[in-house]
Every structure is written in structure tokens, then in C-alpha cells.
Structure 1
Amino acid sequence: MLWWAFLCLEENAMGMSEKVIQKQRPALRLVSTKGLSRDEWLRVRKQGIGSSDAAAAVGMNPYQSQLELWMVKTGRDNGLPKPDSDDPASPVYWGHILEPIVAEQYSQQTGRKVRRVNAVLQHPDPEKHWMLANLDYSVVADDDVQILECKTAGEFGSRLWNEGVPDYIQCQVQHQLAVTGKQAADVCVLLCGQELKIYRIERNEELIEALYVLERQFWGFVETDTPPPVDGTDSAERALRHLYPVDRGEILDFSQSKELSDAFDELLAIRKEMEALRSTESHLKQRIESQMGEASKATFPSGSVSWKRSKDSVGLNVKQLLKDQPELLEQYPLTKPGSRRFLIQA
């Protein structure tokens, strides 16, 4: 599946050259991470594309777009929301806490010894100096596998593992193999806190070459300070709103741009189609509701629907409170920054 995804992506990249595979020198230790603060570590990561950046750099990360990653690499990410590794409600927090436990269980189940790699590694080829990697663990003295990548996945994230290692994780691991010159990695994942699975990923030279071409294209956007194209994801939308938070009142005439004019016409057509679909959806839902009456649930050969009343809740009537005590607004003001709205007129 990953290979076909790369074939599609490669159509937008420069052609891959066929070359003889030569034995690669060991990765360079760019900086030791022992005693390195998180802020310092993040600054080092901005010097290149790390293994956890690889999927986003080639447009295959379901959680981060190329545009959002570009903002991070160019220092424009101050306003972007970031996962808090100290927040117990964050998956990043539990991933950090559980990582050594996953590694220990891997060792117990496989009999392989592992050790931490306390360094940011760099590709030894000067032309690929921007390819960096952080490894969770290395596998000690084993001819079959040399790298261990530890993962955790909750109820939602575990669905991405139904067919094996998700594509974006495979990108991460192939990037690690590219930087280190190693031949294989094990991915050990703890699913929903109770099921441990181990997957072997072998080095694939064709995938690595495709990764290099596409990552180099992305790094060119960083070097030239040029935003990469948007991709329609929530991440790209979030990045755009932080990149261009205010408007300056200027009016642009795109009537001479066939590309943008076609995009606008297609947008209008899709909006009309969506309105028709929403109307049809409401009609079908109401037909079922009218027959359910006071029933809580209805079943069908292909599924079921529920129609239940939620519990009553108590809230604060702020409008009435300010009407009775208007001085509270002056005592406890709260300014909410405005946001740009995309409105269509036709």
C-alpha cells in the first residue's frame, strides 16, 4: 500500500535516478540529547527533516500537513497549538511514559537487548545533511534487526493499525534506515494499553530513494522560504489561519487567472451539491424519526439508529446576568481575538 502511495506522490516529484547501491557510512552524531532541554532539542530539529517529520514532508501524515510542518521549520509556529508532553490528557504524555515499558516488553518477548540512542543523528552524505533522525532504541548485536521504534495507540489511533503498520509510520522507519544505513527495524506498538504487537520493516531502497526525492522537494520550500501547496486537511486550514491571521482590506482581481477561476467555479458547484445532499439527508432522517415516534432505537439489516433525549444541564445565563449587573463586564472584561471568515458571493 505504501509503495503505491509513493508512486502517486512521485508523479509530482522529479524523476528518480537508477543508481548502484553502495554501502553507506554510519550516521553522524549531530548533537547529544543527554541533558538537552526540549526547547534546545526542537531548535536542533529545525535544522532538517527528522524521522517523525518524514511523512508530513511527503504529504502522508494524517495529523500534519506540509504547510504546518513548513511553518515549524521556518520558525512561524509560535501561534500553532502544540501537544503538551506534561499534560496527562495528551497522547504524547502517555507515549513518553509508556515508551520504556514497551521497550522492556519487546525485550522480554523477543530476547533481544536494546539500548537508548541519546543523540540526533545526521545522514553522512553532505548532499543529504538535512536528513536527521531520532531513534527510540537500537537493537544490540543482532544481524536481523538493528532499530526499535516504540509506539502506543489509544482507541481511535489503534484503528490505523488494523492492516499493519500505518503508512506514515513506515515513512518514519524508512527515513531512520536511510539516515543510519541499517537494514531492518522492529516497530513495537501497544494498542489500547493491553495488546502488544511487533512488526518487522526491512530496508527498501526504492522507497528510500522516493523519500529522498520528495523530502528534498519539501526542504527546497524551507530553504527558499516558499510555502508548500495546501492539501485540504484540517492541519493546512489551521496553518493558513495562523499564517495569515488578519486581512489588510486589499481587493485582488483573479479574473485573469484561469486556474483560480476554475477553482472558484468548482467550489460553487460543490457547495450547491452539498446543499442538495444536506437537504436529502434531513428528509431521510425525518422519515425515520417520524416512524420511530417515542422509540429509543431502530434497527435495520445494515445497522441501527438511536434517538434518545440527553440529560438536562444547568448553565449560566450570561445575557441576563449582564442585564441585571452590567458593571460586571467592566470588572471582568475578556477580549476574544477575531478570526477571518471565508464567505462566498456569487
Structure 2
Amino acid sequence: MALAKVSTLEMDRTQWLRERQKGIGGSDASIILGFNKWKSPFQLYLEKTGEHVEEINNEFIYWGNVLEDVVAKEFEVRTGKKVRRRNQMFKHSDYPWMLANIDRDVVGEKALLECKTTNSFNKDAWDGDDVPAAYLCQLQHYMAVLGYEKAYIAVLIGGNHFVWKEVERDDEFIEIMIQHEKNFWENHVLAGVPPQIDGSPSATELLNKLYPTDNGEAIILDQQSETLVEAIESLKADKKQLEDQLKAYENQLKMTLEEASEGHSPRFKVTYKAQTRNTIDSKRLKEEAPAVYEKYVKPSTIRVLKIKQLEAN
């Protein structure tokens, strides 16, 4: 497989991101396939088309890069394998929009090493043979581009727990992945047609960044927007009905427990215990100690979506 290569040796992160706009990278694969909770396909589209610039000054990215050498060296110590840097961005021979910027090559094998760091809260995701789905997509993408047979992934968890795993090439998965990536690249990015925005937290956060304030103007909504409004109102009614039903069931269960702290069945354990929560009475604080209140109050601006049914003429 003859691969096209672009040297990344002298690139800063801004230049590297600009080069990544020319195709689909390994970390993009999980977004397109729906396995990434941190970024939506809509945001990825905006980044690839230059309508939104990815955050560069990120502490997680900085420390991930700093600790990459540490993770790679520990992998060598624990496995006896040798790895080397590849300061290049590779392009698939048949699909030049498929890009790969790997952390390390494994010497003497058709294999790569991906180095990761994460906090201790994510420890369970690495138990046993498990590898988080987002990283599996990334590794399979890299193996597809480079024609490799396997990949290794090593992760430093919480700064004091090291794990490494081996992942075999999965041609069936790769074929499916390439079709999804091809559709995203050709029918969205190149065609200039954004994918439908979803309800993920990442999509909501992106909209808050793109449109943090309003301009005071009013626009006329089209038929498609009115259909969306109707769908929202219908779902709100369903949600209220479900919430009311949920509260009724919970109250029935509370009546059964009465003063008991716990209830047990063959399949469930239910607790109903008193909890004390300390809160600040902001209204009283503002009235009795306005100077203290003003010193610590933190204003924030959010845009709230509200819908009002208008009377028919």
C-alpha cells in the first residue's frame, strides 16, 4: 500500500489542526460513528468546514502530549517491545481523505501504539479486556489507513495506574466505518450540507458558544420550524404525563415504606433515608449583608427557549 505522507515535525498545533481539516482523522471516527460523548457530528462538520475552530489552549491536550513519552517508555519496559516516533500524517491510498497521525510505530511488527492518559474516575472503563469504544474506533481507523495488522493502546490512569492492551484488526468493522466516514466527508463536508444537530450535551454546549446572546430582532419561522415547535410541545406533554406517573409510583412506594429506612425484595434494595443539605438563603443574604452578597455573586448569561401558543385570529 503506497501511502501519501505529510511531515508534522515542524508543525505547531494550529498548523496541525489546519491539515486535519483536509480529511477524517482517527479521533474523528468515533464522532461520526456516534461513540463520542464529547463532540457531535454537527460540531465536527463546523470544524472541518472552518466555521468553528477547535479549542487549542486545553490543559488535557497539553498534559496528554507531555506524558506521551512517559507512557511510550513504560510500554517498552513492560512489554520488551521497541517503539519509534512517526512525525508524519498518513493518507489512505484509496481514500486520501482518511488521515492517520499515530503516536508510535512498534518496531518489527505491522502495529502501532496509541498513548493515553485519563483520570481515576475512568478506571472501570479499562477493566479486563475492555477498551473504550471511542478508542477502538480510533485504532481501527489507523490500521485501515496504514494497512497494519494490530494496534496496542497504553494508558496511564490517575497518574499511578498503568494498563496496556492489544487490539486486532477487524476488517468487517473497518468496512462499515469507511462507509460512514465516506458519507460524512462527501455528503456533508464537501457538499456543504451540515448533519442534523442532535440533543447531545456537546451539541448544546456548542450552540451556547456559537450564539451566547440575542440581538433583539424577530424573524418569521418557516413550516419546518413550526413542525419542530409542535413536536416539542407534544414531547413536553408526554414528559409531564410520565413525570406525574413516576411521582405517583414513588409516593405509593413511600407509603409502603412509611418510617422504614430500607426495603428489600428478591431483586431490589430500596432506601428512604433523611438527608440534610446546607444551602445559602441568597435572598436573606442580599437583604442583611448586601456588600458580602455583591462581592461573591457571579452573574451569568444564558439564553432560554420558551414557546407560547398564540390565539387563532
TM-score, structure 1 as length reference? 0.72
Shift in CA distance, 242/345, structure 1 to aligned 2, threshold 3 Å:
farther
The one of 72, 85, 88 equivalent to 1:116 is 85
For 1:196, give the aligned amino acid.
Answer: F
1:117 deviation in Å?
1.4
Return the alpha-carbon distance in structure 1 between the equivalents of residues 196 and 304 of structure 2: 20
Q: 2:256, 2:73 → 1: CA distance?
A: 53
Q: Residue 210 in 1 paired to residue 176 in 2?
A: yes
**Would you say the 8 A contact 1:58–1:218 is kept in 2?**
no
1:237 to 204, 207, 223: 204
Aligned residues of 2:41 and 2:195 also touching (Cα < 8 A):
yes
Unaligned stretches of 5+ in structure 1? 1-23
Deviation, structure 1 residue 273: 3.2
Q: Offset of 1:137 from its aligned partner? A: 0.6
Q: Hey, what does 1:66 align to over in structure 2?
A: 41
Pick one of 116, 123, 141 that aligns with 1:158.
123
* Aligned residues of 1:76 and 1:243 also touching (Cα < 8 A): no
- How has the CA–CA distance of structure 1 residues 342 and 31 changed in structure 2, closer, same or farther, with 3 Å as cutoff? farther
C-alpha deviation, 1:139, in angstroms: 0.5
Q: Which residue of 2 aligns with 1:18?
A: none
State the 1:264 CA deviation. 3.9
| 1:189-239 Cα shifts (integer Å, max 9, x gaps) | 223333322222122222111111101111131112221023321112223
Structure 1 residue 194 and structure 2 residue 184: aligned?
no
**Contact residue 140 and residue 170 of structure 2 kept, 8 A:** yes
TM-score by length of 2: 0.79
Figure out how many residues of one structure are paired with residues of the other and give that number: 303
Of residues 76, 86, 95, the one that matches 1:107 is: 76
C-alpha RMSD over aligned residues: 3.8
Deviations 1:73-118 (A, max 9, x none): 122224x7x37434xxx4x344333322221111111110001111
1:341 to 297, 305, 309: 305
Q: Does the alignment pair 1:226 with 2:201?
A: no
Alignment of 1:257-296 (within 5 A): 260=228, 263-264=231-232, 266-277=234-245, 279-280=247-248, 283=251, 291=259
Contact 1:48–1:130, Cα closer than 8 Å, also in 2: yes
Within 2, Cα distance between the matches of 1:255 and 1:64?
26
1:135 is the counterpart of 2:111: no
1:254 and 1:311, CA in 2 relative to 1: closer, same or farther beyond 3 A? same
Give the Cα–Cα distance (whole angstroms) in 2 for the partners of residues 280 and 112 of structure 1: 61
Give the ranges of 4+ consecutive aligned residues of structure 1 lying more than 6 Å apart after TM superposition: 312-318, 321-325
Map of 1:35 onto structure 2: 10
Give distance in 1, aligned partners of 2:81 and 2:120: 29
Partner SS for 2:153? strand
Cα distance, 1:39 vs structure 2:
1.2
For the residue of structure 2 that corresponds to 1:156, the secondary structure is helix
Q: 1:73 to 1:226 in 2, by over 3 A?
A: same
- Residue 85, structure 1, aligned to residue 58, structure 2: yes
**SS of equivalent to 2:259:** helix
Give aligned-pair identity as a percent: 31
What is the deviation of 1:319?
4.2
1:252 deviates by 2.1
Rounded to whole Å, the distance in 2 between the matches of 1:265 and 1:315 is: 33
Structure 2 spans left out of the alignment, 5+ residues: none
- Asked if 1:147 corresponds to 2:101, the answer is no
Find 2:20's aligned residue among 26, 33, 45: 45
